[in-house]
Structure 1
Amino acid sequence: MFLKEAGNGRELAKKPQYCLASDLPLNLYETSFEGVDWRCDAESLCFVISQLQGLWAHHSVKTTMIRRMLWDLETSYLHMNSAKQDDTQLSKEVPLVDSIKLQYQCLNLVPGARTKVYRPLLSRPTCESLETRVEHYVKRQRLDRDILQKSSSSSLQTNIANLNNPN
């Protein structure tokens, strides 16, 4: 669909800017594939189990440490907020503890800037083209002018040309 909307390959030379995906890995553990009979030996299985147990222990320790810090900080925040109840000016500046407990937990799951309005991919600002970047480095004398012809990146131009002429 993206290729249809892009029209010709010239538009693909400048890729749209977008946020990177989360650094949390995609979990395909429970994915099933029809007709695939997975086989593994005992040694490999033992190795994977030991690696996962190590990861689990490591992350459990981190989780416990962070949870304890959060409990202590939330308690301190609650005491600070309740001590300032008499001063209405200060109590308005300090939000309620209940509102901060869950508010920030999921914000870091998706990296990058958060936009309030979705922008379609092709209407987003684009990066500079490869040719523009090459010219930039040629001007600074850090790159040979014929780099596009010499390197395997010229296959990018071939692919773009093939998109323009599918026959």
Structure 2
Amino acid sequence: MYVATITGQAFLRNQVRCMMAILFLVGNRLESPEVIDHMLDINKCPRKPQYGMASEYPLILHNTGFDNIQWNIDHRETQHILTQFQHQWTKHAICADMIKCMMDSIQHTSSVSSTGSDGGISPLMSFVMGNDTNYKQKFYKLLLKRPSADPLEDRVRHQAAKRLKLDQQPSSSDSNTTND
């Protein structure tokens, strides 16, 4: 298990999932660490290459860092929440052990390996890397050689045109008026 602590004053939608996707690619040696500096340099990389986001499942917001807020803590409720977490943890730990035993049994009775068939990526990494199927290909395509997203200006123009078109459509209440 690894923990990434990311601090900022604000985040874009899915920003952390995108950041983790790149880190997973680097960690699995599909990309070089230099790709991060390259992608952060807007002159070298003005548009984001197309890649999938990391799975949201293992990513959690743990602390908001609002130090200047006085929290009111109900200790009975805190104990109740802790008890609920302990029950959930016990249930999932038992399920995980049972599944692990089943996997070990299957591996013992056959010659199937638990290492991934996706070019050496483990099933765990396949799960946390999310919906980026590019790493599963026999010949991995480097991020900087992939097609990139449309420029921001084009996307803003497209959204503005879309809003304008919606605003110009007659509303359903306008078309339902009747003349007596």
TM-score under structure 2 length normalisation: 0.43
Q: Answer with 1 or 2: which has the greater Rg.
A: 1
More RCO (CA 8 Å, sep 6+): 1
TM-score under structure 1 length normalisation: 0.46
Which structure's residues are more often helix, by fraction?
1
